[in-house]
Amino acid sequence: MALAPSLKLPTITHIRAYSMGGAAAKVHGQGGGDYHDQGKDHWIDDHIATPMSKYEEYKQSRQSFGINVLGTLVVEVEASDGTTGFAISTAGTVGCFIVEHHLSRFVEGKRVDQIKLIHDQMLNATQYYSGGGGVVINTISCVDLALWDLYGKVVKLPVYKLLGGAVRDEIHFYATGARPDLAQKMGFIGGKMPTHWGPADGDEGIAKDIATLKEMRERVGDNFWLMFDCWMSQDVNYATKLAHAAAPYKLKWLEECFPPQQIESYRELKKNMPKGMLMTTGEHTGTLEGFKELSEAGVDILQPDVGWCGGVTSLCEIAAVAKSRGQLVVPHGSSVYSHHAVITFTNTPFSEMLMTSPHADYVRPQFDPVLIDEPVPHDGVITAEELDKPGFGVELNRDCPLERPFEH
Point out the annotated binding site: 36, 62, 229, 255, 283, 352
Interface residues with Mg ion (CB under 5 A) are 229, 255-256, 283
Q: Please tell me the distance from the alpha carbon of residue 188 to that of residue 395, in angstroms, as a whole number.
A: 26
Q: Please tell me the distance from the alpha carbon of residue 220 to that of residue 245, in angstroms, as a whole number.
A: 19
231 binds ligand L6UHLTYX (CB under 6 A): yes
Q: Please tell me the distance from the alpha carbon of residue 382 to that of residue 233, in angstroms, as a whole number.
A: 32
Binders of ligand L6UHLTYX among residues 30 to 59 (CB under 6 A) are: 44, 48
Active site residues: 332
User: Which of 33, 194, 290, 390: binder of ligand L6UHLTYX (CB under 6 A)?
Assistant: 194
16 binds, among Mg ion, ligand L6UHLTYX, none (CB under 5 to 8 A by kind): none
Q: Measured at the alpha carbon of residue 139, what is the angle toward residues 135 and 142, in degrees to the nearest 5?
A: 135
Strand extents, DSSP E, 195-235: 225-229
Minimum CB separation of residue 280 from ligand L6UHLTYX in Å reads 9
Q: Measured at the alpha carbon of residue 212, what is the angle toward residues 209 and 217, in degrees to the nearest 5?
A: 125
348 binds ligand L6UHLTYX (CB under 6 A): no
Minimum CB separation of residue 256 from Mg ion in Å reads 5
Residue 65 parent element (H or E): helix 62-65
State the binding site for Mg(2+): 229, 255, 283
Biggest CA-to-CA distance, the chain: 71
Minimum CB separation of residue 95 from ligand L6UHLTYX in Å reads 18
Q: Which is nearer to Mg ion, 84 or 90 (CB)?
A: 90
Radius of gyration of the chain (CA): 21
Q: Which is nearer to ligand L6UHLTYX, 333 or 393 (CB)?
A: 333
Q: Which is nearer to Mg ion, 217 or 284 (CB)?
A: 284
Handedness of CA 397, 399, 402, 407 (dihedral sign): positive
Contact 332, 229 (CB under 8 A): no
Residue 255 β-bridge partners: 229, 280
209 binds ligand L6UHLTYX (CB under 6 A): no
User: Which of 38, 104, 139, 176: binder of ligand L6UHLTYX (CB under 6 A)?
Assistant: 176
Minimum CB separation of residue 284 from ligand L6UHLTYX in Å reads 9
Contact 43, 177 (CB under 8 A): yes
Residue 251 β-bridge partners: 226
332 binds ligand L6UHLTYX (CB under 6 A): yes
| Binding site residues, ligand L6UHLTYX, CB under 6 A | 44, 48, 176, 194, 229, 231, 283, 332-333, 354
